[in-house]
Amino acid sequence: MDLHLNNRFFVVCGAGSGFGKAVAERLLHEGAKVLAIARREETLHSIRNGNSESLEILPGNLFKASFPDVLIKHLNGRIPDGILINAGGPPAKSFRETELIDWDEAYHQLLRWKVDLIQRLLPGFIQKAYGRIVLVESMSVKQPVENLVLSNSLRMAVVGMAKTLANEVGSKGITVNVMAPGYHDTPAMERLFAKKSQVKGIRPEEARKLFEKELMTGRMGDPAEFAMLAAWLLSPASGYVTGQTFSVDGGIVKYVFG
């Protein structure tokens, strides 16, 4: 299937590992040009790419209030065709383990920087009458995950923002969608393995098996599979799909409309 991504230009956040890296590599494979962003420059150099001219890297901390200015300066007037908004999440904690400072930090990690970044890029998308905004959140927006109260709570705000924005800009050629991944083979799962092993007094390997038992597929997801759907949502082919939250979860969300 030709996604018509050849020579299109995308910004991919959190591209140093996990979902971001997989999506960056998929887009490059499809012939797109990618500006890959991650905190550590060395992780960006690990992105597999057959054409070095198609990949730009921009080291930076997405959570810092100054970062959107850095990105806009780097773009130097260029308007991307789309952006994958993606980054790590807050620590695994139950409600009673949290302090107010945890909630303040989670707000910055999960919501504030995303709003700021979209506000900076949206005028360009409107000017271009085209844009794809894809936010990577979590299946916790549909079904809470044990010991992830910060993520369970504040990612819901992102979905509310995305749905509202989709309604506002749908007639301007801009789509806004959310991906809600379940358990995948990414570094982010290590915090869940560690937390469950701590709570249950078992080894992390045993904790992983407990997570896998919850899945209809009986296995963790492959980020490369996730990236295929992300590439479609970032492509012209998805122009009639907006304001949606897609579960990519191995069947763990139990609801009929999961």
**15, 105: one domain:** yes
What gap in Å lies between CA 111 and CA 113, rounded to an integer? Answer: 6
**53, 125: one domain:** yes
Comparing CA positions, the residue from 65, 158, 67, 68 lying closest to residue 111 is: 158
Decide if 56 is inside a domain: yes
- Give whole-number Cα distances, 2 to 14, 30, 31, 235, in Å: 26, 8, 10, 10
**18, 32: one domain:** yes
Decide if 253 is inside a domain: no
Decide if 81 is inside a domain: yes
What gap in Å lies between CA 138 and CA 140, rounded to an integer? Answer: 5
**103, 208: one domain:** no
Give residue 213's domain range: 185-220
**94, 207: one domain:** no
Task: Spell out the per-residue pLDDT of the chain, length 258, in tens.
Answer: 899 999 999 999 999 999 999 999 999 999 999 999 999 999 998 897 766 789 999 999 999 999 999 999 999 999 999 999 999 889 989 999 999 999 999 999 999 999 999 999 999 999 999 999 999 999 999 999 888 999 999 999 999 999 999 999 999 999 999 999 988 888 877 777 777 788 788 887 888 888 777 778 888 889 999 999 999 999 999 999 999 999 998 888 887 776
**233, 110: one domain:** yes
**38, 132: one domain:** yes
List the CATH number of the domain containing 59. 3.40.50.720
Decide if 4 is inside a domain: no
Decide if 28 is inside a domain: yes
Integer-rounded Cα radius of gyration of the chain: 18
Decide if 252 is inside a domain: no
**104, 143: one domain:** yes
Number of domains in the chain: 2
